[in-house]
Amino acid sequence: MLFNSAIFIFAFLPLTLLGWYGLNRIKLHRPSLWFLCAASLFFYGYFHPAYLILILSSIAVNYLFILALRHIRKGRKALLVLGITANLGLLGYFKYTDFLIGIINDLAGKDYPLKNILLPLGISFYTLQQLSCLIDTYRTPEKALRFDEYAAYVCFFPQLIAGPIVLSDELIPQFRDLSLRRFDSGRFSKGISLFILGLAKKMLIADLFGRVVDFGFEKIYWIDTPSAWMVALCYAIQLYFDFSAYCDMARGLASMFGFSLPENFDSPLKAHGIREHWSRWHMTLTRFFTRYVYIPLGGSRCGQFRTAFNIFLVFVLSGLWHGAAWTFVIWGALQGLGVLYSRRKHFRLKEGFVSWFFTFVFIVISQMIFRSGSIDFMLRMLKAMFTPAGVHFFPELCSCLAVVPEFYMITRAVEALAPQYSAYVCIGLLAVLLLIAAFLLHGRNARQLVEDEAAKGWRFRFTLLLALLFACEVVSLNQVSTFLYFNF
């Protein structure tokens, strides 16, 4: 099920909230957690019920590993290795089989057929989450964990499909805190506000930029220099608003149920360096790799060269985690190099507009590689970006906005009254969109906005703005698209 769907907003969410608070109100605390698990699994299996078998098996097997790690004294390390291998094996099978077959075919000149395995929704996220719990249990086996708590921790629907990657220490104590299970109007108000703002980011902004990006990549063989830069810029904005939207919605939904999920996104496009960018972008993924890969590898304790190698490796792995293609590996490697550059003490840019600008350009270019999907497309885009190739395609690129409902009246009126200006109007519309995005990126983020409004007692104009945004979102539900981070 998607957050941006009528069935979720008008049926699933209200019924689940009703069930959750209703059961807790009559003191059925454990059944309420089971209810939350069942609702989350319904949410997960709505489109592909077959995936339920996979996630349920994964939860059951991991819980057995956790029980074993807690209760046995000998061979715990071997058990942990086995548990990690089982999780990575499952993820590897679904995510990397075809990638590996492709590499073998390329290297050995063979033609083994690809398996075309469909990637189960959210497997990258719930695998990391379960790995973190497994490793934490190995480190601190004395912490007890009930199956219903563990199942709810893994499949709690706000974070199930695209994160944030929550640690068991963050969520399970909240499940145990019965005071959080009483309806709290403050938490609920903040939650619903974050959800509406997040939904607006996705449906009213990210999807608009997504049209330009999709059109640009569809016509990549005709793309010119300004169009290639525009597509790359639009993708950076789309990805930002898309993922930021999801994080806001996830946190908002959790808050509506009384829980708090960790911050995953903190205005990353305001960063003045790649290191800072990664401390603001997908923060829980960065945390996962730092805790469970970088530090066990030695972190920064083993000399400069080893530290650099560890950082680089972590980002290459992060690239691979995002997708099974060489473009993701290259993107990860570039991020690693960017972070290494940011760590230098010498030749660093002073924090200011220039450092922000270069960071932003680096992000735009590297995320274009991230979007490319294949080396061929990546090279075409890079060639178009860095080899002057005219402006022949640019008006056509902008004209893809002509059919967007938001601009339809304007573009049709211009077409009817002054068709010679149609292309200019579309360029103008894209410029306006970019200005709006710049304004939003520059201002306070959704979390700050909601906190401020709560502190001011929820001003009426903010309430009206939220209601208007919600109405716009409801009418946009007929144009459902999936979140970009579902693909990873």
Partner 1 sequence: MSDTGEKNNIRFLKRLALSSLLFLAAIAGIVILFDPFYHYHAPLGNMKAVLQDRDWQVAGTLDHFSYDSIVLGNSLVENTNTHWIEELYGNQAVKAIRAGGSNAELCFYMDRAFEAQKLERVFYCIDKSILCADPSATLDGFDYSFLLDRNPLNDGKYLWNKDVLLKKIPLQLACNTVLDYDEGEAYDWYRTKTFSAEAMIIHYEPAESFEEMQPVEELLKYLPENLRMLKERIKAHPETEFVLFFPPSSLLWWDQELRGGELEADRELLRRLSTAFSDCDNVKLYAFFAEETYCELDNYMDVSHFSPEVNFKLFEDMAAGRCIMTKENTEEGIARMDERIRRFSSEEIRDYYPEAVLLPDPSPAP
Confirm or reject binding of residue 478 to partner 1 (CB under 8 A). yes
Report the distance separating Cα 396 and Cα 406, nearest Å. 18
Report the distance separating Cα 307 and Cα 302, nearest Å. 6
Q: Among residues 301, 360, 363, 355, which one has the least CA distance to residue 331? A: 363
CB of 401 to partner 1, least distance (A): 13
Residue from the set 47, 93, 408, 421 that interacts with partner 1 by CB under 8 A: 408
Confirm or reject binding of residue 475 to partner 1 (CB under 8 A). yes
Confirm or reject binding of residue 461 to partner 1 (CB under 8 A). no
Report the distance separating Cα 191 and Cα 18, nearest Å. 15
Q: Count the residues in the chain.
A: 488
Q: List, as one string, the DSSP characters of 306-368.
A: HHHHHHHHHHHHHHHHH-SSHHHHHHHHHHHHHHHHHH-SSSPPPTTHHHHHHHHHHHHHHHH
Nearer to partner 1, 195 or 294 (CB): 195
Contact indicator for 488, 251 with CB cutoff of 8 Å? no
CB of 136 to partner 1, least distance (A): 33
What sign for the dihedral angle of Cα 231, 399, 408, 417?
Answer: positive
Kindly state the tokens that stand for 146.
């009930």
Instruction: For 347, list phi and psi in degrees, rounded to 5.
Output: 55, 30
Kindly state the tokens that stand for 200.
């607006």
CB of 156 to partner 1, least distance (A): 23
Contact indicator for 127, 54 with CB cutoff of 8 Å? no
Nearer to partner 1, 149 or 473 (CB): 473
- Only one of the segments 96-104, 110-118, 353-361, 453-461 lies at the binding site for partner 1 (rule: CB under 8 A); that segment is 453-461
Kindly state the tokens that stand for 399.
């004209």
- Only one of the segments 77-85, 363-371, 409-417, 480-488 lies at the binding site for partner 1 (rule: CB under 8 A); that segment is 409-417
Confirm or reject binding of residue 354 to partner 1 (CB under 8 A). no
CB of 467 to partner 1, least distance (A): 4
Confirm or reject binding of residue 390 to partner 1 (CB under 8 A). no
Report the distance separating Cα 39 and Cα 17, nearest Å. 10
Report the distance separating Cα 209 and Cα 242, nearest Å. 10
CB of 403 to partner 1, least distance (A): 9
Query: Residues 415-434 vs partner 1: string with x where CB under 8 A?
Result: -x------------------
Contact indicator for 121, 161 with CB cutoff of 8 Å? yes
Confirm or reject binding of residue 356 to partner 1 (CB under 8 A). no
Report the distance separating Cα 397 and Cα 220, nearest Å. 11
CB of 185 to partner 1, least distance (A): 4
Query: Residues 153-192 vs partner 1: string with x where CB under 8 A?
Result: -------------------------------xxx-xx--x
CB of 188 to partner 1, least distance (A): 7
Confirm or reject binding of residue 64 to partner 1 (CB under 8 A). no
Confirm or reject binding of residue 305 to partner 1 (CB under 8 A). no
Confirm or reject binding of residue 17 to partner 1 (CB under 8 A). no
Residues serving a catalytic function are 322
Q: Among residues 171, 182, 188, which one has the least CA distance to residue 252? A: 188
Residue from the set 466, 483, 484, 488 that interacts with partner 1 by CB under 8 A: 466
Applying CB under 8 A, the residues found at the interface with partner 1 are: 6, 184-186, 188-189, 192, 405-406, 408-409, 412-413, 416, 454, 457-458, 460, 463-464, 466-468, 470-471, 474-479
